[in-house]
Amino acid sequence: MTKMLTIARYELLMAFRRRSLVILLVLFLASIFVFADISRLTNQTSVIVLPGEGSTPARIEDLNMLPDEAIPVWMRGVDLNLWYRSGGVFTTLIAALILMGIAIVMFTNESIPLDRQYRVRELLDAMPLSRTAYLAGKVLGVWGGLLAISALTALFSAVILRAMLGPYDLRYLALLWLAFELPLILLAGGLAVLLTSWTRTRRGAVLMSLLVLPIVILLVALGIMSLSGIGVLIHPAYAFHILLSPDESSVEVVIGRIRHALPMLLGSLIASWCLAYGWQRLREGR
């Protein structure tokens, strides 16, 4: 355990010294800023199309004027302006996550290959260090760095989004970061480290990550489809953001989606671990 944590600590330190973490942080913040601006631009008219057949577009201002009986049940008691702007937060985070996924794969792939390139692996092989401790240390180190910059991005994004979109539901942002963005960021980092672990140089890792990238994007997209509806736990009205009709059943639908997707997401991580572990074992066998 101590060895694993030491490897994780040094991996985190090296990621900082190689400027990977700083660049990722800048990219994360830039993506939040750009996509928030695009969201503001496209949502200027504040028009929504309510679910149901024959619905016509309605302006939020007009809906605010209507009595409770004239609006859908799920809208009653909801601050529609806050809810609508929270939709902007939602689309911003989804768009930013795609960019973050690409950047994470590109900047975390070198973790294990660099040990081979700099001939550190020979030294490590001569030490009483298990393959599990080595791999887990590397993954934990990368996750530690990603956790740190995700926390910073979440804090800064709360301010950026407030300044660009106006007041929104802060609970919604917090929940999206904790239960949607963060798991997928960690998944992308873990997959990038494990699936590029068999390459021998940083250049090889970059080439490998071009193959890994579609897999990660696919899994992130799966995660977006399943985890992004987590907002319904705050209020069913947030089901509207994932194109579900907001009612009591939407909570069950979202939980069902998460339940279906989680084994796939966790399974991909476990399969990557087994591949990386198997490769290391094969290499030692030679």
CB of 36 to another protein, least distance (A): 13
| Least distance between another protein and beta carbon 107 (Å) | 6
Is 22 one of the binding residues for another protein (CB under 8 A)? no
Cβ-Cβ contacts under 8 Å for 118 (sequence gap 6 or more): none
Which range in 57-65, 77-85, 138-146, 195-203 contacts another protein by CB under 8 A?
Answer: 195-203
Binding flag, residue 148, another protein (CB under 8 A) = no
Does 96 contact another protein by CB under 8 A? no
Q: Are 113 and 196 a contacting pair, CB within 8 Å?
A: yes
- 218 counts as binding another protein under rule CB under 8 A: no
User: Looking at 82-90, 100-108, 248-256, 270-278, which segment touches another protein (CB under 8 A)?
Assistant: 100-108
Q: What is the dihedral of CA 64, 70, 73, 79, to 10 degrees?
A: 10
Helix axes 182-195, 248-285, angle to 10 degrees: 20
> What is the total count of residues that contact another protein (CB under 8 A)?
25
Q: Which is nearer to another protein, 18 or 59 (CB)?
A: 18
- Counting contacts by CB under 8 A, is residue 42 touching another protein? yes
User: What one-character DSSP code corresponds to residue 265?
Assistant: H
Distant-in-sequence, close-in-space partners of 120: CB < 8 Å, separation ≥ 6: 114
Q: Which of 59, 76, 171, 203 binds another protein (CB under 8 A)?
A: 203
The residue range among 46-54, 140-148, 198-206, 262-270 that interacts with another protein, by the rule CB under 8 A, is 198-206
The stretches of the chain forming alpha helices (DSSP H) are 2-17, 20-42, 60-65, 80-108, 113-117, 120-125, 131-165, 170-176, 182-195, 202-227, 248-285
149 is an interface residue for another protein by CB under 8 A? no
β-bridge mates for residue 49, sequence order: 57
Contact positions vs another protein (CB under 8 A) = 17-20, 37-38, 41-42, 99, 102-103, 106-107, 109-110, 114, 117, 201-203, 206-207, 209-210, 213
